[in-house]
Structure formats: C-alpha cells, structure tokens
C-alpha cells in the first residue's frame, strides 16, 4: 500500500544508549517500505552509520513529511517545538516511563506505525505558546513551549514575587515558589502536580497555576488561549523562566515575560482507536469499569 509519508524523520533520545537499537529497527522498517529515512545530527551520531540522510533541523523541516520521536515525553516535546513551525506532524513511540504524549508502546510499534504510514490515523492539533522576556523595552529572549511556561525562584532562595496582567489588565500580585502557565497538553504535567485542572487537549484555553503560594486563596484559573499574559518579576533572588522545563534563562527584577499563543500548532498522529481518556485512566490509575459493565467499543 502506498503511503502519504515518503520522507520520514527519526529523532531518538540520543542520551540513552538503548534507544539506538530501536531507532535502527524503525529505520530498517521504514526502508523496507521504500521510505526515505532522515536523521537529525545528534541521533545519527549516537547510532552510527546507516542507510539514511543526516540533516539539520531546518533541513528536516523543509523535507520531511512526518517525524517519529523515539523516547519519552521530553523527546516528543523537543521534536514538536522544533518542527511545529514547519507544519510537520509527529508520532511518539514511548521509550520512557510515563508516556502521556508518546502514546505508542515500544512493544507494539510495528503494527501501530504501519497503520499510520498506510494513512489510517487520528490527527490532533495541539497549541503552543510563545514566550518573550522583555527588559528595558527590548526582547532579550524568545522561546516556544508545548507544555508550559514556568517562572520560578532559585532552589537556593526564598519566595519570588510576581505581578500578573492579562490583556493589559492587572490580575494580581502573588508571592510563592512560582507560577505555571500551561496549555491543555501541559495540564497533565507540572501543573497537575501543583493541583491544577486537567484540560482536554482540544480545548482552546490556558491554565495559570501558582506553585506553593504564600496566600492559599491564590488558586488556579483557566483563561481563553487568545489572551496576552505578562508576568513581571517584582521581587526575589535568582528568578528564572523555563519552557517545557527544557529551555531556561535567568531573569532580572523588573523583567516582563509576555506569553501568547503561537500562530501555528503542532499535529500529533495516533493509531486508530486512540483514546485520550484511556491514556488518563492508564497513567493516572483511574478506576476501570468491570468488563461486564462496559458498553461496546469502550474496552481499551
């Protein structure tokens, strides 16, 4: 069967030696289907020579029809951030522990990936955020995030004081360990551990979640995702901002972090039968109905 994806990029968690064997197996599987295999430079260096092209991220963005992330959710986040501006859909094969967004199990990747390559899949758009650190009227740092933006104190210092504005309107000033601005995708990440709500990924919204606030009345709040949020650092030692807990920069008192929805999305592809609620049940240990009470089609 012909495939709509004739050039596929493979990106593995190159820091983990065991991922290399999986990447090589997937590359061979793709080659057997007459698909051109594109590897980023770090992945290629970690697994050695083979029958594939080694390209930069920009080259992959211009040439690939699909990207496969092999690793944990962190790998998937990194791949999605890099390739979202190019409109490249992403598939996640879980070689990690949690696997909220890398939903294809390592043990079953062959049939799942084969079905996707044949053009039978469920497609899902996920929103991203653009963060800009503004200092003395200039933008000194810019980054994308798929999960969240976290403004926090140093682990060696006391509380941080933050002033928050939404669309130019003053919201509040809070003291605590920090503040999370999460997308629906990121609502099951750090925000969830800080008692934030779970947002379905198809919702067009954001959630602001205080981290250990000094005042217990500072609660999570959900906002539409078309707002512009500015978090200004009022006080605290060694503040910093992190995007997806992977990309960081240090902040100064008076800095403003402007956070807005990105003008593009990233597209996740899932095998047929994918269920977001099944993922939540499996990862959060939600109670299952006895099989005798399940309706047709509800079994995982």
Confirm whether 73 is a catalytic residue.
yes
Q: Are 84 and 128 in contact (CB under 8 A)?
A: yes
Between CA 107 and CA 124 the distance in angstroms is 23
- What H or E segment, with its residue span, contains residue 243? strand 240-243
Between CA 260 and CA 256 the distance in angstroms is 13
Nearest to 43 by CA among 72, 14, 17: 14
Query: With left for phi above 0 and alpha for psi between -120 and 50, is residue 82 left, alpha or beta?
Result: alpha
Residue with tokens 């972090």: 257
Between CA 293 and CA 215 the distance in angstroms is 44
Nearest to 251 by CA among 263, 265, 233: 233
Burial of 278 (0-12, 13-18, 19+ CB in 10 A): middle
Cα→Cα distances 236→112, 137, 205, 223, 233, Å:
49, 21, 29, 26, 8
Check 25, 36, 73, 300 and give the catalytic one.
73
Which is it for the CA torsion 264, 269, 270, 272, positive or negative?
A: positive
The number of C-alpha atoms within 13 Å of 213 and in the hemisphere containing its C-beta is 19
CA 197 from centre of chain: 17
Q: Find the largest Cα–Cα distance for the chain.
A: 64
> Which residues are identified as catalytic?
73
């Amino acid at each position: 069967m012909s495939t709509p994806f004739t050039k596929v990029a493979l990106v593995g968690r190159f820091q983990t030696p065991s991922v290399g064997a999986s990447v090589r197996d997937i590359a061979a599987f793709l080659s057997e289907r007459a698909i051109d295999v594109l590897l980023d430079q770090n992945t290629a260096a970690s697994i050695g020579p083979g029958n594939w092209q080694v390209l930069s991220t920009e080259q992959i963005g211009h040439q690939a029809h699909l990207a496969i992330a092999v690793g944990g959710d962190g790998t998937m986040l990194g791949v999605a951030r890099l390739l979202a501006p190019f409109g490249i859909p992403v598939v996640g094969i879980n070689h990690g522990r949690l696997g909220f967004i890398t939903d294809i199990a390592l043990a079953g990747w062959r049939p799942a990936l084969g079905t996707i390559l044949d053009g039978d899949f469920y497609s899902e758009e996920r929103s991203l955020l653009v963060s800009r650190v503004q200092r003395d009227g200039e933008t000194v740092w810019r980054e994308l995030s798929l999960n969240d933006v976290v403004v926090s104190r140093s682990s060696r210092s006391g509380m941080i004081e933050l002033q928050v504005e939404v669309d130019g309107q003053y919201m509040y000033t809070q003291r605590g360990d920090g503040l999370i601005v999460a997308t629906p995708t990121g609502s099951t990440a750090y925000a969830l551990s800080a008692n934030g709500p779970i947002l379905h990924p198809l919702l067009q919204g954001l959630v602001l979640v205080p981290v250990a606030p000094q005042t217990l009345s500072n609660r999570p709040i959900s906002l539409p995702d078309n707002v512009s949020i500015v978090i200004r650092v009022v006080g605290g030692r060694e503040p910093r901002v992190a995007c997806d807990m992977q990309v960081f920069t240090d902040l100064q008192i008076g800095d403003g972090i402007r956070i807005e929805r990105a003008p593009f999305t990233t597209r996740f592809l899932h095998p047929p039968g994918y269920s977001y609620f099944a993922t939540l049940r499996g990862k959060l240990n939600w109670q299952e109905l006895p099989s005798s009470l399940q309706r047709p089609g509800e079994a995982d």
